[in-house]
Amino acid sequence: MTARDWDAEIDRWTERFREIADPPEPFATALREGWTPEARQTLIDEASTYAEHTEGLLAQITSAGWDLVRFDAKFGSCGTCEKYVGRAYSLTGEHPELPSPPPLPICPACRHTLNLLTPFFLQSTGRDIDDLAAESVPFDERDR
């Protein structure tokens, strides 16, 4: 996993959320009251742990021979991630018509997930890889 500079990300997102009417916690509190060292460190620890867990999950999925995942967002996200919700991604490049997934978390406060997409699930929805490719949205580095 590439080391992330969580302090720099928190600074970038804090500035970005100044323009958002309803930023997620803990950014909303930080914008009203400023960052305390404790709140900042808690967010760093939580985001770092979440990134490690996500990396572990994706390693398990790929080692089991699976390639397709779907980006799912929890309620109350920051909104930056909305364009990725429900989109499919290729973990290994087995499906080159699909992009690689976004790095999670995108925003240090969000806790979205990449869930396994199985052939059975796709068949049950009446969709195929061509449908997924037509709707694909590559991760935009400006969303970091």
Name the pLDDT band for 136 (thresholds 50, 70, 90). very high
1 falls within a domain: no
- Check pLDDT > 60 for residue 125: yes
**DSSP secondary structure, 70-126, as one string:** EEE--TT--SGGGGGTT-EEESSSSSTTSPPPPPS-SSTT---EEEE--HHHHHHHT
69 falls within a domain: yes
The model's pLDDT over 53-94, given as tens digits with 9 standing for 90+, comes to: 999 999 999 999 999 999 998 776 777 888 899 999 999 999
In which domain, by residue range, is 30 found?
Answer: 6-143
- The arithmetic mean of pLDDT across residues 28-44, rounded, is 97
- The arithmetic mean of pLDDT across residues 30-59, rounded, is 96
Total count of domains within the chain: 1
> Distance between CA atoms of 113 and 32, rounded to whole angstroms?
29
- Closest listed residue to residue 130, CA positions, set 94, 97, 106: 97
The model's pLDDT over 97-124, given as tens digits with 9 standing for 90+, comes to: 999 999 999 999 988 999 999 989 999 9
- Check pLDDT > 80 for residue 1: no
127 falls within a domain: yes
126 falls within a domain: yes
12 falls within a domain: yes
> Distance between CA atoms of 3 and 60, rounded to whole angstroms?
20
